[in-house]
Chains A and B, each alone.
Chain A
Amino acid sequence: MYGDGGIKLINEAKRTQHLEILPRFQDEMVRHIINETKELQVIASETSAEPLHNPDPSDQQQTQEDRRQKCLQFISKLAMRRNKRCLLAYERLRSEKMDHMAWNNIEAPIQNHHEEEYLREYESNLINFKSAFIDLDLTGPLVPPKDIFIEVRGLQNVGLIQTEYGAFDVTESSRFFARSTDVERLIQQGYLEKI
C-alpha cells in the first residue's frame, strides 16, 4: 500500500536515534519509496493533464467523474509530499549522527558514498570553523570543568606520553594522576579510563 515504505523508514530512523553507531543506509527501502513517488507523480500529472469538463450541473455523471479525478490527484499529491518528508526526516537524522561523529572524532566506516562525501565535507567545514579559535578546544567537554587533574587508568599498552608535567608510561591497568586536558583525547580514543 502507498505510504507503507515511509512508515518503515521512519521506524528505522527511530531505531537509529538510540544507536551508538550509524546503521547501514537502507538502500532498498529508499529506492522503493522513490519508485512509489515516481508512480504517484505519473498519476498526478495524468489526471491534471486531462481537460477539465465544463461545469454542467445538469450532467450528473460528468460532475461525479470530475470530482473523482480531483480527489485522486489530491490524494496522490499528498502521498508524494509525505514520502518526501519521510525521506528527509530519515536522512536528516542520519546527517545529525554524522555531524556527531565529526565532532567526537568517531571513526566508523560509512558504506554509502554520498554520505561519506557529506561527512568529509562537514569535517572540513568544522576544521575551517575551528581554525578561527586556535587556543580553544571546541570539541572539549560541554560540562563545566571541576578538576584540572584527574586520576586515570590505562586500558591498553600505549607507551610513553609526554606532558608538560613529565612523562607517563601508559600500560594496561597502570594508574596515574594527570592533567585532564592532556589525557582527554586518550580517554576519548579508549586508551585510558577515568577513575
Chain B
Amino acid sequence: MDFSDIFAEFDQSKRASRHDNSQESHNDLVLLQQAWSNERLSPEILEYEHDLLERILGKLKQKIEFVELNSMEIQSSHNDIKITLMIIESEIERVSFLIRSYLRTRLSKIDKYTMFIMNSEDSVMKLSEEETIYMDSHLRSLTKLYNNLFLKHFDESLQKLDETGGGASMIDEPDLQKPVFIQVVETIEDPIRFGDDENDLVRLEKGIAAEVSELWWSKSESSVNLFNEELDSAFVIEGRGAIGGRLGGEGFRNELIPILDVSSFESNGAGVDVGVGDGLLLYSSDGFKRLVIEKGFCFLLFTSSSGLAAEI
C-alpha cells in the first residue's frame, strides 16, 4: 500500500531527501484506511477528516499529474518507466477507491439520517461544508417533491416530516446499540467502565482486538465521552450483526469482553482448540470463549453447542 516507497526507489538520486516525505505519506495512508474503516463500521456519522483528506487529495493530484506527464513521453523514455507508471496507477486507483468509499459512506448516512442530523447541532458540526450543502439541498428537493405530490392537499397539522409521537417516529436514528469490534492502537492506562456496574472495568491494551457490545455506543454519559476521547487510541475494525446479536442477549448485557491472548491457542487438526493459558483474560460466563488478537489480524472464535466454530 505504500506507493511513496516505490516512488522513492526508482528515483534514487532524491532518495535521501524523500525519506521524510515518504514516511508522512505512509502515515496518511494508514490514517485514511483507519478513517475509512471507522466510517464504514460505525453506526453514526463521524467527524469529517478535513486535514487528512486535503493532504491526500493534494498528493493524489500530484501523482495523477506525474502519470499524465510521463505517459505522454512513454515512447521516448526508457522502458523502466512503464512498470513504475503501472504501479503508481494501481496505487492511485486504490487510494481513489478509499476516498470514494469514505465519502459515499458518509453521504449514504447523511441521506438516511437527515432529520436526525439536522436536529442535532453536534452532528451538523461533524459534516464538511460540501456535505452540509448537499444535505440541505437534498432535503429541500425532497420536501418540495412531497409537498407537490400530496402534502399540500392536507391540513397543516398533517404536513410535518419530523413527528415523533403516535408510537412511530418519523426520524430515523443511527442504532447506537450496534455492537462493534475494536482494535486498541494505544494502551489506555486507566481502566474504562463499560456499564453501570462498578465491576465493569477493562483496561485496553495495545494490540488487543476486542468486541465491544452495545455499551460502547450507548448514550450513557461515560461511554460517549470515552468514545470521543479515545477514538485516536482505539479504532473500529469490524462490525458484525450476527455475532453481536448472540452476545447482545441477556447474559452478556453487563459483562465484559472476553479477551484471550494469541499464545494460548493451538490448532488441533479439525477444529481449533482454545486453551486457557497465560495472559488470559476471560470475563464471559455464558459459554463463550473468544479469542482475538495479533496485530492487524483478528481471529474470532466462539463455542457453539456442537463444538468449536472458527470464523476469520
Q: Write the residues of chain A forming the contact surface with B, with a CB cutoff of 8 angstroms.
A: 30, 33-34, 37-38, 41, 78, 80-81, 84-85, 87-88, 91-92, 95, 99, 112, 114-115, 117-118, 121-122, 125, 128-129, 132-133, 135-138, 140-142, 144-145, 148, 164-165, 179-181
Cβ B104 vs Cβ A138 within 8 A: yes
Cβ B94 vs Cβ A144 within 8 A: yes
Cβ A122 vs Cβ B96 within 8 A: no
B interface residue count range (under 10 / 10 to 19 / 20 to 34 / 35 or more): 35 or more
Nearest Cβ distance between residue B116 and chain A, in whole angstroms? 15
Given contacts A118-B145, A148-B93, 5 further A-B contacts (CB under 8 A): A91-B149, A121-B137, A145-B93, A148-B86, A165-B71
15 A-B pairs whose Cβ atoms sit less than 8 Å apart in the complex? A30-B150, A34-B150, A37-B154, A87-B150, A88-B170, A115-B145, A117-B145, A125-B138, A128-B134, A129-B130, A129-B134, A133-B103, A136-B60, A138-B103, A164-B72
Cβ A114 vs Cβ B60 within 8 A: no
| Interfacial chain A residues near B89, Cβ < 8 Å | 148, 179
Cβ B154 vs Cβ A84 within 8 A: yes
Cβ B104 vs Cβ A142 within 8 A: yes
Nearest Cβ distance between residue A102 and chain B, in whole angstroms? 11
Instruction: Answer whether residue B284 sits at the interface, using C-beta atoms and an 8 A cutoff.
Output: no
Q: Write the residues of chain B forming the contact surface with A, with a CB cutoff of 8 angstroms.
A: 57, 60-61, 64, 68, 71-72, 74, 86, 89-90, 93-94, 96-97, 99-101, 103-104, 107, 111, 130-131, 133-134, 137-138, 140-142, 144-146, 148-151, 153-155, 158, 161, 166, 168, 170
Cβ B99 vs Cβ A136 within 8 A: yes
Nearest Cβ distance between residue B62 and chain A, in whole angstroms? 10
- Report the separation of the CA atoms of residues A121 and B143 in the bound assembly, to the nearest whole angstrom: 12
Cβ A125 vs Cβ B134 within 8 A: yes
| Interfacial chain B residues near A87, Cβ < 8 Å | 146, 149-150
Nearest Cβ distance between residue A11 and chain B, in whole angstroms? 18
Nearest Cβ distance between residue A41 and chain B, in whole angstroms? 6
- Contact of A41 with B155 at beta-carbon distance under 8 Å, contacts A34-B150, A91-B145, A125-B138 already known: yes
For the complex, would chain A's binding face be called helix, strand, loop or mixed by DSSP majority? helix
- Chain B residue with the shortest CB-CB distance to A149: B86
- Chain B residue with the shortest CB-CB distance to A25: B149
| Interfacial chain A residues near B97, Cβ < 8 Å | 140-141, 144-145
Nearest Cβ distance between residue B64 and chain A, in whole angstroms? 6
- Chain A residue with the shortest CB-CB distance to B165: A81
For the complex, would chain B's binding face be called helix, strand, loop or mixed by DSSP majority? helix
- Report the separation of the CA atoms of residues A138 and B90 in the bound assembly, to the nearest whole angstrom: 17
Nearest Cβ distance between residue A180 and chain B, in whole angstroms? 8
Cβ A122 vs Cβ B158 within 8 A: no
| Interfacial chain B residues near A30, Cβ < 8 Å | 149-150
| Interfacial chain B residues near A85, Cβ < 8 Å | 168, 170
| Interfacial chain B residues near A118, Cβ < 8 Å | 141-142, 144-145
- Report the separation of the CA atoms of residues A85 and B151 in the bound assembly, to the nearest whole angstrom: 11
- Contact of A125 with B137 at beta-carbon distance under 8 Å, contacts A115-B145, A164-B68 already known: yes
Nearest Cβ distance between residue B92 and chain A, in whole angstroms? 9
- Report the separation of the CA atoms of residues A148 and B95 in the bound assembly, to the nearest whole angstrom: 13
- Report the separation of the CA atoms of residues A80 and B159 in the bound assembly, to the nearest whole angstrom: 11
| Interfacial chain B residues near A114, Cβ < 8 Å | 145, 148-149
| Interfacial chain A residues near B158, Cβ < 8 Å | 37, 41, 80-81, 84
| Interfacial chain A residues near B134, Cβ < 8 Å | 125, 128-129
- Chain A residue with the shortest CB-CB distance to B87: A148
| Interfacial chain A residues near B94, Cβ < 8 Å | 144-145
- Chain B residue with the shortest CB-CB distance to A87: B150
| Interfacial chain B residues near A122, Cβ < 8 Å | 138, 141
- Chain A residue with the shortest CB-CB distance to B130: A132
- Contact of A34 with B168 at beta-carbon distance under 8 Å, contacts A122-B141, A136-B96, A148-B90 already known: no
Cβ B100 vs Cβ A128 within 8 A: no
- Chain A residue with the shortest CB-CB distance to B70: A164
Cβ A135 vs Cβ B60 within 8 A: yes
| Interfacial chain A residues near B111, Cβ < 8 Å | 99
- Chain B residue with the shortest CB-CB distance to A114: B148
| Interfacial chain A residues near B133, Cβ < 8 Å | 128-129
Nearest Cβ distance between residue B23 and chain A, in whole angstroms? 23
- Report the separation of the CA atoms of residues A30 and B53 in the bound assembly, to the nearest whole angstrom: 45
| Interfacial chain A residues near B60, Cβ < 8 Å | 135-136
Partner of B96, one of A84, A125, A140: A140
- Report the separation of the CA atoms of residues A165 and B57 in the bound assembly, to the nearest whole angstrom: 25
